[in-house]
Amino acid sequence: MMNRGEEIRKEITAFKVEREKWQPFKQPAKANPGQTQQQLEPATSADTALLTGNGSGNNAVDGDPQQDMAESLLLPSSSSGIVPVEPERQMETAIAIEENQVSASAGSVQTQQENSDELMRSHVSETDHVIGQIEDTKGLPTPSDMDSNDPVMFCGRRLKSVDINLMLNAGPCQPTRDYSFPVVNNRCFNPAWFSCNMPDKTAYQRKWLSYSRSGDKAYCLPCIAFSGPLGSDIWTNIGFCEWRNGSRDVQHHECSPEHRKAEIAVHQWRSGRTVSQMAAGNNNAFVEDNRKVIECVIDCVKFLAAEMLAFWGKDSHEGKFLNLFKLIAKRDSRAAAYLERIEVHTEGRKMGVNLISPGNVGIVMKTMKQMVAEIIVHNVRCQRKACMIFDST
């Protein structure tokens, strides 16, 4: 029985100790005059450990500060034996942690809302820009509404070599008289402007003038391609639509220096040669034709001189030389062409140089005589001997 009673007393004592261990935390009372410093040190050290997190229960790993603070307030301190913080302080700490979380969440939500508003404003700005571009292009012709040679497709931009070739190969857009031109203020484009009459009563086709059906305006193709900044903005970009003075303005632009330079550039672009090169080529062909004519003249002189026949008759328009030259012209196309040129100029103004005139034929004879004499002298000097036949009656 004695042993049983001692066991019961031990259990009661242990229960009391355990109950006192989990009692609510109480602030340490102010030091009484009779209370020693050793009695206050355990409570002070325990409070400091719990508030600063330097106790034995908070030295495992560094983690979330809020979670570490909560754990330090809920767990007991094994070193000092003092009970944890009271429930009121636990509640205040939990509320503070929750407020921090709510404020952090609210800040994140606000940041997301600001980013969303900024993105929305950028989308609205882009949409307004696209709508403005669409409104600016309202009323303009689309490529499906244009002709393949509509000059509007080449206006207002810098053309590449491919675009220039495409425009020149397509040619001008010149609708026939059957096309119904739009009438504005009782005026419309006149298709008669596509051609003009030259002083010699020949018709000249204005291949530079191109009409746009989509814009009801006229343009100059050479100036669009080659006039550059010096060209007329009306004929290259805006388009000509002053039909009231159309005949006068078309002729005025056709005679302008900028248009003439553009026309020359078109010929150079198509031929791949400059004007000087083309002129030199024509000059070379002209010189070659004259050489063939002189060869025919030399053949006629050699024949008549060998046969000791007279060259001319009573005047320069008849005689054996001219008849012989006409005979050779039947077999030589260049000699025949030269005779045709002489006949044309005989009816009008006189030729500058006539290769078969008596004066020019006499020059050929004197040149041939000099060449024969030089050959005879050269042969005598080489042989150092000479023989002369003298015949007399």
Give, in order, the Cα–Cα distances in Å from 320 to each of 197, 317, 328, 331, 346. 45, 10, 12, 18, 20
User: Is residue 313 domain-shared with residue 261, that is, in the same domain?
Assistant: no
Flag whether 300 is in a domain: yes
> DSSP letters along 256-282, please?
SHHHHHHHHHHHHHHHTS-HHHHHHHH
Quote the pTM value.
0.41
Do 236 and 347 belong to one domain? no
pLDDT surpasses 70 at 245: yes
* Residue that is last in its domain, among 246, 272, 298: 272
Q: How many domains does the chain have?
A: 2
Same domain? 156 vs 261: yes
Residue 321 lies in a domain: yes
Residue 139 has pLDDT above 50, yes or no: no
Q: Is 28 a member of any domain?
A: no
| 264/314 same-domain check | no
Show the domain range for 172: 149-177+187-272
Closest CA to 236 of 244, 227, 245: 227
Same domain, 379 and 266: no
Residues 303, 376: one domain?
yes
Domain boundary (251, 272, 293) is at: 272
**Could you give the CA distance from residue 193 to residue 86 in angstroms, rounded to a whole number?**
108
Q: Is the pLDDT of residue 52 over 50?
A: no
Residue 250 lies in a domain: yes
What is the pLDDT averaged over residues 244-256? 91
Residue 295 shares a structural domain with residue 268: no
Is 371 found in the same domain as 326?
Answer: yes
How does DSSP classify residue 205?
E
Residue type at 269 in one-letter notation: W
Percent of the chain predicted with pLDDT > 70? 62
162 with 230, same domain: the answer is yes
- Same domain, yes or no, for 294 and 248? no
Coil vs helix vs strand at 219 = strand
Q: Which residue has the higher pLDDT, 358 or 92?
A: 358
In a domain, 343, yes or no: yes
The pLDDT value given to residue 249:
92
Based on the fold, state whether residues 265 and 289 are members of the same structural domain: no
User: 114 is written with which tokens?
Assistant: 């600001």
From 224, 244, 272, give the residue that closes a domain: 272
Same domain, 263 and 286: no
Residue 277 has pLDDT above 80, yes or no: no
